[in-house]
């Protein structure tokens, strides 16, 4: 099936010269690289696609919305037509809340699989929504496993849904979605997935992962800009969601119904972001789609980790659970290391990194996604070395206790 990407009105707004899908030089205008899990460094042509204004009710923009939805369903593997795509204005957390509030019935009960900040945020969101939930909290180092899910579903028949985070970017864990989905289906429950930071690079094919719905965002692995996310859900689940939502703006059923009847968004759409996303989709396909993007991100991660380990840094996670999205590193034990100073030194050299989000150890994170390649990652390592030298940190080894804890947990897993 030939994709329509690149043939929309939005494509003509970008540069007439097709850009390289792989980054080769620094971002435009000397901007720093965003080594974060989204927003991230985007292609110049993606930004150029936003230079035209669009009428939100105009036929051209309706066609752009239809193309966006069809392209994402194709990426999700919906060959049978059982699912539909519902884009929603706002950040990823808006879309997660919309999915939970619309597709989890008010009398439902969720098992939330948490091993970081975003799993915990799901539990917090369910509390705001007045939905019952049970939390399996695995801490910062380990993923939830299918056998654990099975045991918890056997022990509590009240549970109707399992909610999982595909890639927990607070630590960088790539959770074993296949076994979680298999366990959930085996026990006759429904699976909702937060694939914010994974979809588009890490495989998520609805023909292989039995799920009721999943959500992702424009500004993650597809490398668009912030402004909207999307829910990909079974049509049956969308039909059953009528009247379930706690919110007018976050009602996935109503957004779906209006889009299918009119081709329009219910409320003012992020027109420029949609135009940029269509260009990002074109570049995604040009790179080889999901497999091509996964290969680049995985190589970015491997080059980064190898270089950082030569400096003495150690990643939080063992390689088995380390995602290609973002890597968390222990902060050095050296008394002269201070993250705030390290951050500013990295920024001065053109790299914006992320602080850690862990509860038990000091850490920081470096993203592997966006328009960056292995050459950029080598420059990142060089910048880290210079920053350490400036700070007077001779070696970046973490506290011995942190490594011992990681080793013990790995053996327990």
Residue positions forming the annotated binding site for substrate: 365
Provide the 10 A C-beta neighbour count for residue 305.
21
User: Closest by alpha carbon to 66, among 45, 46, 87?
Assistant: 87
Show the tokens assigned to 184. 């959930």
- The number of residues making up the chain comes to 413
Element (H, E) at 165: strand 161-165
Distance CA 166, CA 207 (A): 17
Q: Say if CB 85 and CB 228 are below 8 A apart.
A: no
CA 149 to each of CA 140, 194, 259: distance values in angstroms, whole numbers, following the listed order: 18, 17, 36
The DSSP annotation for 73-123 comes to HHHTT-TTS-EEEEEEES-HHHHHHHHHHHHS-TT-EEEEEESSHHHHHHH
* CA distance linking residue 39 with residue 31, whole number of Å: 14
Asked if 72 and 182 touch (Cβ cutoff 8 Å), the reply is no
Report the C-alpha gap between 227 and 368 in whole angstroms. 21
Q: How far apart are CA 355 and CA 170, in angstroms?
A: 9
What's the CA dihedral at 279, 169, 209, 105 to 10 degrees? -100
Write out the binding residues. Answer: 365
């Amino acid at each position: 099936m030939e994709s329509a990407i690149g043939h929309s009105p939005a494509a003509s707004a970008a540069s007439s010269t097709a850009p390289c899908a792989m980054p080769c030089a620094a971002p435009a205008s000397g901007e720093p690289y965003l080594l974060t899990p989204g927003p991230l460094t985007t292609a110049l042509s993606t930004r150029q696609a936003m230079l035209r204004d669009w009428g939100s009710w105009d036929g051209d923009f309706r066609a752009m919305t239809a193309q966006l939805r069809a392209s994402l369903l194709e990426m999700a593997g919906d060959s049978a037509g059982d699912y539909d795509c519902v884009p929603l204005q706002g950040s990823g957390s808006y879309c997660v809340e919309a999915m939970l509030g619309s597709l989890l019935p008010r009398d439902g009960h969720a098992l939330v699989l948490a091993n970081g900040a975003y799993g915990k945020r799901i539990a917090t969101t369910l509390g705001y929504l007045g939905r019952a939930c049970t939390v399996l909290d695995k801490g910062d180092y380990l993923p939830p496993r299918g056998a654990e899910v099975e045991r918890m579903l056997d022990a509590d028949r009240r549970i109707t849904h399992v909610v999982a985070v595909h890639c927990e970017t607070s630590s960088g864990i790539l959770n074993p979605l296949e076994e979680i989905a298999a366990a959930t289906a085996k026990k006759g429950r429904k699976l909702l997935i937060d694939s914010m930071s994974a979809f588009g690079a890490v495989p998520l094919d609805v023909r292989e992962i039995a799920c009721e719905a999943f959500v992702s965002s424009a500004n993650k692995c597809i490398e668009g800009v912030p402004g909207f996310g999307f829910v990909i859900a079974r049509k049956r689940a969308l039909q059953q969601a009528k009247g379930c939502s706690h919110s007018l703006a976050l009602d996935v059923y109503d957004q779906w119904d209006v889009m299918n009847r009119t081709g329009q968004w219910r409320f003012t759409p992020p027109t420029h972001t949609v135009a940029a996303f269509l260009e990002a989709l074109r570049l995604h396909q040009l790179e080889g789609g999901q497999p091509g993007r996964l290969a680049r991100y995985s190589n970015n991660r491997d080059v980064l980790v190898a270089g950082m380990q030569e400096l003495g840094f150690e990643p939080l996670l063992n390689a088995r659970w380390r995602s290609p999205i973002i890597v968390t590193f222990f902060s050095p034990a050296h008394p002269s290391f201070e993250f705030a100073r390290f951050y500013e030194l990295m920024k001065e050299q053109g790299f914006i990194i992320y602080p850690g989000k862990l509860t038990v150890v000091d850490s920081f994170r470096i993203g592997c996604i966006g328009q960056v390649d292995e050459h950029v990652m080598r420059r990142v390592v060089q910048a880290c070395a210079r920053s350490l030298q400036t700070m007077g940190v001779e070696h970046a080894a973490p506290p011995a206790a942190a490594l011992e804890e990681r080793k013990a947990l790995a053996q327990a897993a």
